[in-house]
Amino acid sequence: MASTTASAADAPAHAETVRAKGRLYRGDLGMWSWVAHRITGVLTFFFLFVHVLDTALVRVSPNAYDTVIETYKHPLMILFELGLLAAVLFHAFNGIRVMLVDFWSQGTKYQKPMLWTVLVLWLVLMVPAAISMLTRAVTEIFGG
């Protein structure tokens, strides 16, 4: 009985030590991939929600719909489009990786190389898109 009490008394001290370092969970790149997958999924959901609402606005008031669409044509909205593209691309590629890990017998063995592949593909597609979209935004803002 004394050993149970002693081990229970040691547990809070160990938990306080971990919290004192500032990190409750020490995750690796896979944890950050999980977090990014959830965040990009939520961002994509909110975009789709707003898209459905602004499209439905045409039935309520065509003039209000036209006003909303005009705000989307502002050059600064290109930054939001770029963010949307980044979120959708990462969520799609990482979703394929998650499916492979879940349904392919070798998936867990290759999950880290697949994550690096996702990140490389994301960068290969995002860098030219970002250059193109930001060039267009700068041209529209400052003239060209």
Instruction: Give 90: exposed, middle or buried? Use CB within 10 Å, 0-12, 13-18, 19+.
Output: buried
Between the alpha carbon of residue 14 and those of residues 6, 10, 17, 20, 24, the distances in Å are 13, 6, 5, 10, 12
pLDDT category at 82 given cuts 50, 70, 90 is: very high
Q: Which residue has the higher pLDDT, 120 or 107?
A: 120
**Is the domain defined by 29-143 classed in CATH 3.40.50.10320?**
no
Position with higher pLDDT, 2 vs 95:
95
Residue 70 dihedral angles phi and psi, to the nearest 5°:
-65, -35
4: left (phi over 0), alpha (psi -120 to 50) or beta: alpha
pTM greater than the 0.85 cutoff: no
Amino acid at the residue 91: H
Looking at the predicted structure, is the pLDDT value of residue 123 above 90?
Answer: yes
* Pairwise CA distance, residues 49 & 44, whole Å: 9
Q: Which residue has the higher pLDDT, 72 or 17?
A: 72
Average pLDDT over the chain reads 86
**Domain chopping of the chain, boundaries:** 29-143
pLDDT band at 9 (very low <50, low <70, confident <90, very high): low
Question: Is there a contact between 54 and 68 (Cβ–Cβ < 8 Å)?
Answer: yes
What's the maximum distance between 2 C-alpha atoms anywhere in the chain? 81
